[in-house]
Structure 1
Amino acid sequence: MVAGRGTDLLRPATSSGRATFLELFFDLAFVAALTRVSQRFADVGDDTGWTLVTGLGRTLLLFLALWLIWSHTIWITSRYEPERPVIQAVVVGTMFAALVLAVTLPHAMEERALPFAVAYLMVMVVRPLVVAAALHGHPRQRVPFRLAAWSAASAPLWLVGALGPDRLRPPLWAAALAVDYLAWALGWPLPRLGSAGVGRWRIAGEHLAERHQQMFLIALGESILVIGAVFGGVDYSAGRIAAFTVAFTTSALLWRIYFHRAGRLLNEALGRTGMPGRLGTASERTHGLLVLSVLVTAVGYHLVIDDPFGPPRPTWLWFVVGGPALFLIARVRLDYEILGRVSWSRMIGLVVLLLVTTGLARWAPMVGLSVVAGVLALVALLDALRGRRRPLEDSVPQIGPESSGDTRAEE
C-alpha cells in the first residue's frame, strides 16, 4: 500500500468484512428499483410476438443500468473504508439517485427518460470525480478518473436518447450501456495510461461476497413480496391458494439451491484469494444473472397466481420456465467459479426444463409452475444426497489472481 495523501481512504487489512448499516440502508433503494423492474416485466407478460420481445429487451436494458450502478457501489465500499465521511456521502448520494431511477423506471422509455438518464449519469460521471478528489493524488486516483472519462464518452448517447424520438431511445441507450460495460471489462483504458488491471485490485473479498449474497436475498425477498401482493389482491380460490403455495415453495427451493456448497463458500473463496479482483468481477456477472433470474421467475408467480387454470399461455413460459432455467445456468457457472467443477444436479435440472417446455405450452399455467417446482425439488434432493456422501469441500477458485510474474503496480 502506498503511503501519502489519500491513504486514509483505503480499506485497511483490519477492516471488518461485514456490510455496514449504511450499506444495508442503501439497498432499500434498490428494493424499490427491483420492484419496478418486476412490474415492467409483468406488464409485457400478456404481449406476443415482436411486442413481447421489445418489451423484454427494454426492461432488460433498464435492469442492466441499475445493476451497473449497484455493482460499482459495492466495489467502492470494498476498496475504500465505508466508515469515512466522504464514502458515506458517496453512498447516500448514490442512494438518492437510485431512488430517482426507481421512481422514473416504469416510464423511463417514455416521458421520464430524461430524469432517468440524468440520475444515471450523475452516478457514473460525478461520483468517480468526488472519489478521485478525496484520494488527493494517491495512485489509485487514476481509476475513478478513468471511469469518469469513459462515462462522459457515453453520456451523449444517454442524453440524445432521452431527448430524441422514442423509437431511437432503445438503440442509443443499448449502445451507451455497451460502452459502459465494455469499458469496465477492459479496465477503462486511456491513451498513455493503458488499462486498470482489475484483476490486481486489492479489495475486501469477504465484504464483496457478502454484498453479492445480500443482493440475491433481496431479489428473493422481492419475489416473496410479489407472491404476497398478488395473492392479497385477488379473490381467494382453491387454484390460487395452490399457486400461492407452489410459488412460495419455488422461492424456498431457489434459496436452498443457491446456498448449497458454492453459495456458502463464496465468502471463503474471495477471502482466501490473495488478489480477488478477477474472481470478484466474475462473481458480479454471475450474480447479475442470478438476480435477473429471480425477478423473471417472480413475474411467473404474478401471472400464474392471477389466473392459475386459465387457457394455456405459451408466452408465459418465458417467465415460468425461463427464469428458473436462467437461474440454473448461473448456478452452474457459480459452481465452476468457486469449486472448479460442473454441478451435474443443476445440469440435469436444466435439461429436464428444456425438454418439458414444449409440452407445457399446451397445459394450464398452474401445471407449468408445478412442474418447475418439481424439477427444482429434484435438484435440491440430488444436492442433499450428494452432500450426505461427501463432506463439504474447500473452495477451488478457477478465476483467481494473475500470475505472480505480473509486477505492475496496483491501481
Structure 2
Amino acid sequence: MADERGAELLRGGGGSHRATFLELFLDVVFVFAFTRVSQRLIDDVTAGGGRLPLELTQTLVLLLALWMVWSLTAWATSHYDPERPPIQAVMVGSMFGSLVMAVSVPAAYGPHGLSFAAGYVAIQLGRSIYLTVALRRHSQRHLSGRILVWSGVSAVFWLGGGLVGDDARLLCWAVALVIDYVGVVIGWPVPRLGRAAATAWTVTGEHLAERYQQFTIIALGEMIFVAGVGFSGSDFTLLRWIALVDAFATTVLLWRIYFHRAGSVLAEAVAQARQPARLGQSATWTHLTMIAGIVTTAVGYEVAISEPGGHADVVRVAAIVGGPALFVVGRSRFEYEVFGRVSLSRLVGLLLLVLGVPLLSRLPLIGMAVGVTAVLTGMAVADALRARGRPPERPASPM
C-alpha cells in the first residue's frame, strides 16, 4: 500500500505532458531573478576597477545557483506528476525560496548573504526531505535520498559562507557549487546505495523539452526588459535609438537561431533517444551555456544603449562580443545533441566573432554591437537558405 501511494506521485503514461500553469508561475520568479543578476553584471561592468574579475566571479556563482534550483525543479516535475498536491507543494516552496534568493542577489556578498544561502538550502533540502518522506517505501525514494545527502553536505558551505566576509563567502559558495554540480554529474553516490545512473530519471521528453524552451524564452525576454529599462532611463538620441533597434534585432536573431529546427524538435529528439535522461542531462549543460550567453549579451547591449559612442575596453568587448559567442558555442553543442552534427554556419559565425575582435574593438560600442548583429544575421540567413526547398530535418540524436 505504501509503495502504491508513493507510485501515485510519479508520472504515468496518461495525462498531459505539457508544462502546468504552476510551472509557468515559477518561471515568473526567475524573470525577476534574471533581472537582478543582469543588474549586478551591469553594475560590475560600468564600475570597472581592480576588483572586476572577482565581482564577475561572484555574480557567476549566483547565476549558477539559480540555474541549479531551476533545472532540478524542472527535472523533478518531469519525473513526478506536477498535478499531485505534494508535488505542487514542492513547487510552491521552490517558488518562494527562489524569490528569497532573487531579492538577495544585489547584496548577496553583503548583508543579504545569509538570506540568499538560506533560500537555496531550503529549496534543495526541503525538496529532497519532502519527496523522501512522501514516496514512503517506493524504490524511487532512494533517488531523493541520495540528493538529500549531497545537499546536506553542500548546505554546510552555503550557510557557512553566508556568515563570513565577502571573499571567504565566495570561496565557501564556490565549494558548495562544486559539490552540487559534481553530484549531478556523477549521480550523487552514497555508501551502500551507490550512485543513481541517468536512466534512474524516467523523464517525459515533451515536458522536459518544453521547460528548456520556456526558460530560453525567459532569458530572451529578460534581454528585452534590460534593454528597454536602459533606454527609457536615457535621452532618446539617434544613436541610442539605433542601439535599441539593434538590441531588439539581436534578441530576435538569438530566438531564431535557437528554435530553427534543433530547439523546435527537442521534444521529439528526447522521446526518440535510447536514453532520454542522458540527452536531457546533456541538454542541461548546453542550455546553461546558452543562458549565460544571453544574460551576458543583455548586459553588453544595455551598456551599448547607455554609451553608444563609448570606448570599447576589454570588459565591454567581452560582454558585447563574448555573450553571443558563448551562445553560439552552446547552440552548436545543442545541435549536435539533436542532429548528431554541427552546421557550418555555426562554426563560421563563431570564427568571425572571435577573429573579428581586433577590428570590432576599434569601433565605438554601437559599431561593435551592429557588427555582432551582422554576424548573427548571416547565421540565420544561412539556416534559412539551407532549409529552403527541403523537407524538415528529423532529429537523429547520437545519444
Shorter-chain-normalised TM-score: which range? over 0.9
Following superposition, the deviation at residue 52 of structure 1 comes to: 2.1
> How far apart, in 2, do the equivalents of 1:11 and 1:274 lie?
19
Contact 2:3–2:137 (CA under 8 A) maintained in structure 1: no
SS in structure 2 of the partner of residue 235 of structure 1: coil
Following superposition, the deviation at residue 103 of structure 1 comes to: 0.3
Contact 1:226–1:298 (CA under 8 A) maintained in structure 2: yes
Match of 1:407 in 2: none
> How far apart, in 1, do the equivalents of 2:3 and 2:89 lie?
24
1:327 pairs with 2:327: yes
1:110 pairs with 2:80: no
1:309 pairs with 2:313: no
1:86 pairs with 2:86: yes
Instruction: Report the AA paired with residue 214 of structure 1.
Output: Q
Contact 2:220–2:255 (CA under 8 A) maintained in structure 1: yes
> How far apart, in 2, do the equivalents of 1:15 and 1:340 lie?
31
Following superposition, the deviation at residue 49 of structure 1 comes to: 6.5
Match of 1:284 in 2: 284
Which deviations, in whole Å up to 9, do the C-alpha atoms of 1:331-364 show, x marking residues without a partner? 0000100000012101100000001112222220
Matches within 5 A, 1:211-360: 211-273=211-273, 275-360=275-360
Instruction: Report the AA paired with residue 190 of structure 1.
Output: V
> How far apart, in 1, do the equivalents of 2:15 and 2:194 lie?
31
Match of 1:210 in 2: 210
Instruction: Report the AA paired with residue 213 of structure 1.
Output: Q
Following superposition, the deviation at residue 389 of structure 1 comes to: 4.9
> How far apart, in 2, do the equivalents of 1:92 and 1:155 lie?
21
Instruction: Report the AA paired with residue 381 of structure 2.
Output: L
SS in structure 2 of the partner of residue 310 of structure 1: coil
Following superposition, the deviation at residue 205 of structure 1 comes to: 1.2
Q: What TM-score comes out, normalization by structure 1 length?
A: 0.94
Match of 1:122 in 2: 122
CA, structure 1 residues 390+51, in 2 after alignment: closer, same or farther (shift >3 Å)? farther
> How far apart, in 2, do the equivalents of 1:186 and 1:152 lie?
17
Contact 1:201–1:275 (CA under 8 A) maintained in structure 2: no
Contact 2:3–2:135 (CA under 8 A) maintained in structure 1: no
Which deviations, in whole Å up to 9, do the C-alpha atoms of 1:289-337 show, x marking residues without a partner? 1111111100011100001012333320111001100010000000100
Which deviations, in whole Å up to 9, do the C-alpha atoms of 1:353-377 show, x marking residues without a partner? 0011122222200010000000000
1:163 pairs with 2:163: yes
Match of 2:136 in 1: 136
Contact 1:161–1:173 (CA under 8 A) maintained in structure 2: yes
Range with greater deviation from structure 2 (263-272 or 30-39): 263-272
1:188 pairs with 2:188: yes
Match of 1:6 in 2: 6
Structure 1 stretches lacking a partner, 5+ long: 400-411
SS in structure 2 of the partner of residue 194 of structure 1: coil
Match of 1:404 in 2: none
SS in structure 1 of the partner of residue 94 of structure 2: helix
Instruction: Report the AA paired with residue 340 of structure 2.
Output: G
CA, structure 1 residues 357+47, in 2 after alignment: closer, same or farther (shift >3 Å)? farther
SS in structure 2 of the partner of residue 182 of structure 1: helix
Following superposition, the deviation at residue 234 of structure 1 comes to: 0.6
Could you say what the CA RMSD is over the residues aligned between the two structures, in angstroms?
1.3
1:374 pairs with 2:374: yes
Following superposition, the deviation at residue 288 of structure 1 comes to: 1.0
SS in structure 1 of the partner of residue 45 of structure 2: coil
> How far apart, in 1, do the equivalents of 2:30 and 2:88 lie?
17
Instruction: Report the AA paired with residue 374 of structure 2.
Output: G
Contact 2:40–2:106 (CA under 8 A) maintained in structure 1: yes
Following superposition, the deviation at residue 199 of structure 1 comes to: 3.0
Following superposition, the deviation at residue 107 of structure 1 comes to: 0.7
> How far apart, in 1, do the equivalents of 2:144 and 2:200 lie?
16
Following superposition, the deviation at residue 267 of structure 1 comes to: 1.1
Match of 2:27 in 1: 27
Range with greater deviation from structure 2 (42-51 or 290-299): 42-51
Match of 2:393 in 1: 393
Following superposition, the deviation at residue 15 of structure 1 comes to: 2.6
Task: Tell me the number of residue pairs that the alignment of Structure 1 and Structure 2 aligns.
Answer: 398
**Identity among equivalent pairs (%):** 46
CA, structure 1 residues 352+49, in 2 after alignment: closer, same or farther (shift >3 Å)? farther
Match of 1:145 in 2: 145
Contact 1:202–1:275 (CA under 8 A) maintained in structure 2: no
Instruction: Report the AA paired with residue 230 of structure 1.
Output: G
> How far apart, in 2, do the equivalents of 1:229 and 1:367 lie?
21
Following superposition, the deviation at residue 200 of structure 1 comes to: 4.1
Structure 2 stretches lacking a partner, 5+ long: none
SS in structure 2 of the partner of residue 6 of structure 1: helix
Following superposition, the deviation at residue 51 of structure 1 comes to: 2.1
